[in-house]
């Protein structure tokens, strides 16, 4: 990380105390406060807190990181540094469906990179991004330990084995059909 970027973040993350918040941000803060009640004000709890908040909100927006920093009595930059260090935490909102392409050794050698290409092509986004309609977010994972089912893609927390480009299309089609069905029911 370059020094320029660190400076820029420091400015962003330590704003004046009274900031106007949108309704969404206010909700985020409310949720976070509710979760913080379960924890002691100990630095060692930071990662567990972040995991639980992300589990609820799907990501960790700025106002939430500041809230947690204040709770633990540490600078906002310390929270930010932990959030950006670990692969699990995300700074942008997730899609409705999460797609995690496994790039462990076995998956890679059996064509995981080809599967990733197929997902990128079909969803029109790169790894770490969310589709504009917030339906899908795409990312990679180092290894989910299902090496025997390679290449694996974890779709909505469910590991699926032997996901090759044709199966990518199949999975997307099944989501489409599901959506159509829901649409019909709503009518």
Partner 1 sequence: MKAVELSTVASTFQEIKNRAESGWQELWHSGKPVILVGTGTCGRAAGALDVLQAIRDEIGRQNLDCHLVEVGCMGHCYAEPIVIIAKPGYPPIAYGHVNPVIAERLIKDFILGDNPCLEFVLGALEKNELVPSFSEFPRAKYEKKVILKNCGYIDPEQIDHYIANGGYQAVAKVLEMSPEEVIDEVKKSGLRGMGGAGFPTGQKWEICRHARGRPKYVVCNGDEGDPGAFMDRTILESDPHSVLEGMVIAAYAVGARRGYIYVRAEYPLAVHRVRVALRQARELKLLGKNILGSDFSFDIELFQGSGAFVCGEETALIASLEGKPGIPYHRPPYPAVNGLYGKPTLINNVKTLAYLRSIIENGAGWFTGLGTEGRGGTAVFALAGKIVNTGLAEVPMGTTLRQLIFDVGSGIPDAKRFKAVQIGGPSGGCLPESALDLPIDFDSLRDAGAMMGSGGMVVLDEDDCMVEIARYFLEFTQRESCGLCTFCRLGTKQMLEALDEITKGKGKIEDIDMLTELAEDISAGSLCSLGKTAPNPVLSTLRYFRDEYEAHIKEGRCPALMCQELIAYYIIPERCERSCDACVGTCTVEAISTNKKRIKVIDQEKCVKCGTCLKACPPQYNAVVRLSPPDQVPASE
Closest CA to 31 of 54, 14, 62: 54
Residue 18 near residue 66, CB atoms below 8 Å:
no
Minimum Å distance from CB 152 to partner 1?
A: 6
- Residue with token string 């692969």: 87
- Separation CA 158–CA 147 (nearest Å): 15
In the bound state with partner 1, the residue whose beta carbon lies nearer, of 16 and 157, is 157
The footprint of partner 1 (CB under 8 A) covers: 1, 42-48, 50-51, 78, 81-82, 85-89, 103-111, 114, 117-118, 121, 141-150, 152, 157-161, 164-166, 168-169
In the bound state with partner 1, the residue whose beta carbon lies nearer, of 17 and 158, is 158
In the bound state with partner 1, the residue whose beta carbon lies nearer, of 13 and 143, is 143
Omega before 185 within 30 of 0, i.e. cis: no
Minimum Å distance from CB 183 to partner 1?
A: 26
Minimum Å distance from CB 47 to partner 1?
A: 6
In the bound state with partner 1, the residue whose beta carbon lies nearer, of 25 and 171, is 171
Instruction: Calculate the CA 79 to chain-centre distance.
Output: 16
β-pairing verdict for 129-130 and 136-141: antiparallel
């Amino acid at each position: 990380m370059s020094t320029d970027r660190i400076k820029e973040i420091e400015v962003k993350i330590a704003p004046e105390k009274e900031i106007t918040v949108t309704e969404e941000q206010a909700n985020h803060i409310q949720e976070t406060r509710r979760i913080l009640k379960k924890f002691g004000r100990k630095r060692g709890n930071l990662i567990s807190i972040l995991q639980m908040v992300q589990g609820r909100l799907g990501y960790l927006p700025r106002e939430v990181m500041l809230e947690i920093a204040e709770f633990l009595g540490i600078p906002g930059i310390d929270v930010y540094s932990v959030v950006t260090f670990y692969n699990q935490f995300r700074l942008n909102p997730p899609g409705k469906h999460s797609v995690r392409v496994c790039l462990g050794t076995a998956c890679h050698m059996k064509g995981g990179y080809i599967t990733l290409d197929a997902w990128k092509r079909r969803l029109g986004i790169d790894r770490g991004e969310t589709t504009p309609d917030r339906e899908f977010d795409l990312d990679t994972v180092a290894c989910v330990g299902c090496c025997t089912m390679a290449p694996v893609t974890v779709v909505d927390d469910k590991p699926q084995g032997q996901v090759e480009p044709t199966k990518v299309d199949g999975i997307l089609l099944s989501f489409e059909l599901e959506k159509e069905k829901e649409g019909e029911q709503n009518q």
